[in-house]
Amino acid sequence: MFIGENLTNLRIMHGYSRKQLSEILGITEQAVWQYENQYTSPKMKIVNDLKSIFNVKSRYFYKKDVLSRYVKAENIPLMNIAYRSKVINVISKTQSEAKHVQFLDSFVNYFAAKINFPTQKIIQLRNNVIEFLNTADQDRQTQITHVAKMARHALDLDENTNDELMFAMEKSGIFIFEKAIGEEIDAYSLWTKQERPFIILGNLKRSAVRRNFDLAHELGHLLLHYRVEFTNLDRNEHKAFEKEANQFAGAFLLPEKAFLTDLQTVERITNPDAYIDLKKKWKTSLQVLGYRAANLGILDEKNHRNFYAALHRKGYLKREPMDETISIQRPQKMKSIMDLGFKKRIFNLQQMLNNDWMADVQFLHQITGIDANFFDRYMMKKKDFELTHVSESHTSYSTK
C-alpha cells in the first residue's frame, strides 16, 4: 500500500508545494493531495517519476520511512530554528528546514544505535551559561562578552588562533552539516528536544572568514537563546537577537586580551589594509576586525565610520584580500563516525541504502551535504560477495 506520509515528508524537505510537485509530475495538484492522504495510489509511472525526483527506491513509498523508525515525533521544534539571515523567513521555508533536520536527526540516530558518541560538553556549557545569565547583574553586553570567554575556554580553543574552530565545535557535541539553503540565509541552528545541537551551514561559495563568523554566530544562538521561539518574534525582536549573536561572535573569535595586544601592531587603525596580517592570523574578516576594534574602544565612532568607508571604497564589502587563499573548514565529524562504522563492518552501506534507507547515494548526499564520492568508496564491489555484515554493539567514537 502506498504510504502518503512518506511522499509528504520528501516533498516538504525539498521545499515543494503540492502545486509545484504536480507541475513537475504533469498531474493535478488534487492528485498529489490524494496520494499524500491515501485516497488513491499513484500508478507505477508516477512512482518511478517520484523515485527519480527524490533519489529513493520505489519501495520507499510502500514501507515506513526513516522518520518513522529513527526519530521521535516532534523532536525538531520548528519554532526554535535560529537563522543567520537578513530577513525573517516565511513559514514554508522554516517547515522545509525543520523537515531536513528531521532527516539529519534520523541519520545521526541510525549510527548512534551502534556507536557511542562522546559526552557532549556543549550541553554542560549551555547549562553553565543559563545559570550565569540567570544570576548575573551586569549589562547585557558584559554578559555576552563573559559567555564568549566561557565558550572559548570550554571548547579548549587556543587563545591566539581560530584554526581549530570547527573541529572544537564538532568535538564538543555539535553536529554540523552543509546544504544549499539559498541566497538569503547563511546558516541556521537549533536544539532538538532530545538535546542534540545542530548547525546547518550554507554550501554556497563563501569565504573561510565568513564561514567562521557563521559558526560563531550560530554558537551564540545555541548558548544565549536556548528555546527562544524565533518564529514568533517580530522584526525588531529578531534584529535584537541577531545583534546579540553578532556581539557574541566578535568577542568569541577575537578574545579581548590577545586581540588588544595584536592591535598595538596596527599603524593606521582606519586603514583596512593594515589589518590583513590579523585577518590571516585570526581567520576573521576585515569588517569583523574593525567591528571588534570599535567594540573595544580602539576605534571611536568617527574612526570606525572612516574604516567602514574605506572598506566600501576599496570594494572589500564584496570581496576582501585573502578570501581566495584561506582554506575553508568543512564538517568532518559525521564522516569520521561513518568511516569507523563502515571500516569495522558495523554498518554495510549497501544494506543501509537498500534495506534501511531505501534510497540512493545521492539522497544521502542531499541530506548530509557530504560528497557522493565519500560514500562510493564504501560501496561493496562485486568481488566482495563473500563478505558478510558484522554487527558490533557499543563501539565508542572519539576524536583526539
pLDDT, one tens digit per residue, over 217-263 is 999 999 999 999 988 888 899 999 999 999 999 999 999 999 999 99
Alpha carbon distance 100, 106 (integer Å): 10
Q: How confident is the model at residue 352 (pLDDT cuts 50, 70, 90)?
A: very high
Task: Judge whether residue 78 has pLDDT over 70.
Answer: yes
Q: 61: which 3 cell numbers?
A: 513509498
Please tell me the predicted confidence (pLDDT) of residue 75: 85
> Cα dist. 82→100, 164, 271 in Å?
15, 24, 34
305-338 residue pLDDT tens: 999 999 999 999 999 999 999 999 999 999 999 9
For residue 247, how far is the Cα from the chain centroid?
Answer: 20
pLDDT value at 400 more than 70: no
Residue 350: how many other CB atoms lie within 10 Å? 12
Return the axis-axis angle of helices 235-253 and 140-154, rounded to nearest 10°: 50
Torsion region of 358: left, alpha or beta (phi above 0 gives left; psi -120 to 50 gives alpha) = left
> Please, what are the domains in the chain?
1-63 (1.10.260.40), 69-253+335-400 (1.10.10.2910), 255-331 (no CATH)
Q: What is the pLDDT of residues 363-396, one digit of tens each?
A: 999 999 999 999 999 986 544 434 444 444 455 5
- Give the tens place of pLDDT for each residue, 152-173: 999 999 999 999 999 999 999 9
Cα–Cα distance measured from residue 76 to residue 223, given in angstroms and rounded to the nearest whole number: 17
Model confidence at 346, pLDDT cuts 50, 70, 90, reads very high
The pLDDT value given to residue 259? 97
Q: Once rounded to an integer, what is the mean pLDDT over residues 31-48?
A: 97
pLDDT attached to residue 342: 95
Comparing CA positions, the residue from 3, 20, 19, 24 lying closest to residue 69 is 3
Tens-digit pLDDT profile for residues 104-153:
999 999 999 999 887 789 999 999 999 999 999 999 999 999 999 999 99
Q: What span, in angstroms and rounded, lies between the C-alpha atoms of 14 and 54? A: 8
- Tell me how far apart the 2 most distant CA atoms of the chain are, in Å: 73
Read off the pLDDT of residues 183-211 as tens digits, 9 standing for 90 and up: 777 899 999 999 999 999 987 667 999 99
Cα 361 to Cα 7, 175, 229, 365, 370, distances in angstroms: 19, 20, 35, 6, 10
In contact, 359 and 59? CB cutoff 8 Å: no
Nearest Cα to Cα of residue 30 among 38, 41, 18, 20 = 18
Strand partners, 175: 198
- DSSP secondary structure, 239-293, as one string: HHHHHHHHHHHHHHHS-HHHHHHHHTT-S-TT-GGGGHHHHHHHT--HHHHHHHH
**CA nearest to 59, candidates 46, 71, 47, 75:** 47
Half-sphere exposure (Cβ direction) of 391: Cα atoms closer than 13 Å: 5
Q: Is the pLDDT at 90 greater than 80, yes or no?
A: no
Grid coordinates representing 320 are 576582501
